[in-house]
A = this chain, B = another copy of it.
Amino acid sequence: MKISLAPKVIKGDVRATAQLIRRIDDGDRDVFDDLAVLYKHSGRAHIVGFTGSPGVGKSTLVDRVVTKYREDGKTVGILAIDPTSPFTGGAILGDRIRMQKHFLDEGVFIRSMATRGKFGGLTRSTADAMVVLDAMGKDVIVIETVGVGQDEVDIANSAHTTVLVTIPGMGDDIQAIKAGLMEIGDIFVVNKADREGAGKTIRELNFMLHMSSERYVASGWVPPVIDTIAPTNQGIDGLYETINRHREHLFQCCRDELIKKEETRVRNQLMDLLKEGLMETALQRIGGIEGLNGCVKEIVNREKDPYGVTFDLLKKLLGG
């Protein structure tokens, strides 16, 4: 057992937390003993996901909502998965300067997750980082993701409350929402609502929600559509109240749904951990990267085929 940072993290030590999350993001496998300890202390934070295409203003929305949490005395952890987010350093200077007030606030802990490990590491490392922030004692964990791709959907799906953000005139976003994002949204936000076509976008979303209203009978929560203009704070109070109302809904009125969400998250996390562990062992047994490259060359030359190689390797690994 290599537990070194967990006790400090539980006490809220910022340096230890930063160090552990960095090691998670680096793919360091020695973190698991610490995480096992921290896991028992997790499960208290409200996890809120903000998901949407680059350019819809997610970061400014997050910034404004986090300000509301701080006014209420709540502590917040932010994990940015969006490569264009100012939190990850990917945005223009102005955005980053705007965020500085939170960087200087001890009640807010901001980190970006970047590394896609060899074997689907981003979902796994984000789940691990959530455990750390939760065990550290943060009241709320905000995850910011680009709303596209299976990884991002999985990450968004691991939140208790998922806010899907779009802007007027993003017909492609509406397509994407139709094509699969719809069911993960608990709250829909039309940001930059002073732009032309805002009314139309809001109507389209409401219509789509109306068309699938039978989906919401069981939970009793019909996702509301909220219009905001983040830079001038318009609609932020309403959004903040709605997020808290959804939290109440989950934690008090509808425990079944909460438990279902928790189970989904744990199931995904367990599968990701297993996958990574199995694949690392498989890679070792095949002779590391060198052994793998040898196999690949034989297959490219059609001396072998990928199906036979897999069959042999599975037999070698698992016996029987």
**What is the distance, in angstroms, from A22's C-beta to the closest C-beta of chain B?**
18
Q: How many residues of A contact B (CB 8 A)?
A: 66
Contact, CB under 8 Å: A305 / B271: no
Which residues of B lie under 8 Å from residue A171 when comparing CB positions? 55
Which residues of B lie under 8 Å from residue A84 when comparing CB positions? 175, 179
- In whole angstroms, what is the CA distance A172 to B55 when docked? 6
- Say which residue of B269, B293, B295 sits within 8 Å of A306 (CB atoms): B269
Within 8 A of B (CB), among A112-132: 116, 119-120, 122
Copies, count: 2
Which residues of B lie under 8 Å from residue A317 when comparing CB positions? 278, 318
Contact, CB under 8 Å: B277 / A314: yes
Contact, CB under 8 Å: A270 / B295: yes
Report if A12 contacts B (CB, 8 A). Answer: no
CB-CB contacts of A266-307 with B at 8 A, as 1s and 0s? 110111011101110110000000001101110110100111
Contact, CB under 8 Å: A313 / B263: no
- In whole angstroms, what is the CA distance A293 to B146 when docked? 30
**What is the distance, in angstroms, from A291's C-beta to the closest C-beta of chain B?**
12
Report if A253 contacts B (CB, 8 A). Answer: no
- Say which residue of B259, B274, B300 sits within 8 Å of A310 (CB atoms): B274
Interface residues of A: mostly helix, strand, loop or mixed? Answer: helix
Contact, CB under 8 Å: B149 / A275: no
**What is the distance, in angstroms, from A176's C-beta to the closest C-beta of chain B?**
6
Contact, CB under 8 Å: B267 / A302: no
Which residues of B lie under 8 Å from residue A266 when comparing CB positions? 296, 299-300, 306
Within 8 A of B (CB), among A18-35: 32-33, 35
- Say which residue of B35, B278, B305 sits within 8 Å of A36 (CB atoms): B305
- Say which residue of B151, B274, B282, B299 sits within 8 Å of A149 (CB atoms): B151
- Say which residue of B176, B262, B270, B282 sits within 8 Å of A309 (CB atoms): B270
**What is the distance, in angstroms, from A54's C-beta to the closest C-beta of chain B?**
4
Given A152-B149, A180-B83, answer yes or no on A274-B281 (Cβ-Cβ < 8 Å). Answer: no
15 A–B contacts, CB within 8 A, in A order: A40-B302, A83-B180, A119-B271, A120-B150, A148-B148, A266-B300, A267-B293, A273-B307, A274-B282, A274-B314, A275-B278, A277-B311, A277-B314, A278-B318, A281-B318
Given A149-B152, A270-B292, A317-B318, 16 new contacts (CB under 8 A): A35-B305, A36-B307, A36-B308, A39-B307, A54-B176, A83-B180, A120-B120, A266-B299, A266-B300, A267-B296, A270-B309, A273-B307, A274-B279, A275-B275, A277-B311, A277-B314
